[in-house]
Structure 1
Amino acid sequence: MGQFATGVAVVSAAGRGPAVGMTINSLASLSLEPPLISLAVGHASNTWPQIRQQPGFSINILSSQQQALCRAFATPSGRRFSDVDWTLSEHGTPIISGVLAWLHCEIEHEYAVGDHWLVASRVIAARNNSSASGLIFFRSGFRTVGPLLTEGADGTRHASGD
């Protein structure tokens, strides 16, 4: 699957204990009405059981400036949030500063599929930072994606939102 470029995100939750999170790159839109997304998490994950027991979780879609953060949340550690700037959303889930966008989700269904959990989740809230560039994982390395360029009537090119 290394030939397939994916976005990169951190799934995070906070309950009675410290905030927990993990890097994922298997994230997809499932439905617009109702708004649903899917993610896949390996059965071997030590973090997913802590996240799934919470009433909701955040998907922090990483920006091009967050490669180190991506790696930190991808390695086994109990203190991934210790050196990260973050706040709790109005829903009580961790939002990492500087992300491209974030979603607050609640689990609708969870299926055991091969060696992963396929998790269908309802999107309760979403926010974006349109000025940031996206982080892409492709062929075992990081790439970035900037704003969409559009051509004006005069032939000049502009980043979307300009």
Structure 2
Amino acid sequence: MRWTTSSHGSPRLTGAVAWLDCEVHAEYDGGDHLIVRGDIRSLEAAPAARPLLYYRGRYTGLAEEAFGAS
């Protein structure tokens, strides 16, 4: 998997539709996992990219209307 480093030092996956660069603000015990709260330092989204969504047990996409297509 290819990645680059953000200006804040976080890894960014090459080809990602969007990314958030966060600084850890707090960590909480979630039982068998850890919940991390972050403060967003920067973000970016590829304007032409279509996201892949997981909803109600299956993968799907957004309707064309959601992208302002006519």
Q: Structure 2: which 5+ residue stretches go unaligned? A: none
The match for 2:61 is 145
| TM-fit CA distance, 1:130 | 2.3
Letter in 1 for 2:5: L
| TM-fit CA distance, 1:137 | 2.7
Residue in structure 2 matching 1:107, options 11, 24, 35 = 24
The match for 1:160 is 68
Confirm or deny: 8 A CA contact 1:147 1:160 kept in the other structure.
no
How high is the sequence identity, in percent, across the aligned residues?
Answer: 30
Confirm or deny: 8 A CA contact 1:133 1:144 kept in the other structure.
no
CA distance in 1, matches of 2:61, 2:24: 29
Structure exhibiting the larger radius of gyration computed from Cα positions: 1
CA distance in 2, matches of 1:87, 1:133: 21
The match for 2:33 is 116
The match for 1:75 is none
CA distance in 1, matches of 2:22, 2:54: 23
The match for 1:132 is 49
May I ask how many residue pairs the two structures share in their alignment? 69
CA distance in 2, matches of 1:137, 1:95: 21
Q: TM-score, normalization: structure 2?
A: 0.74
4+ long deviations beyond 4 Å: none
Residue in structure 1 matching 2:11, options 65, 69, 94 = 94
Higher relative contact order (CA 8 A, sep 6+): 1
Superposed CA RMSD in Å reads 2.3
Letter in 2 for 1:133: R
The match for 1:64 is none
| TM-fit CA distance, 1:146 | 3.5
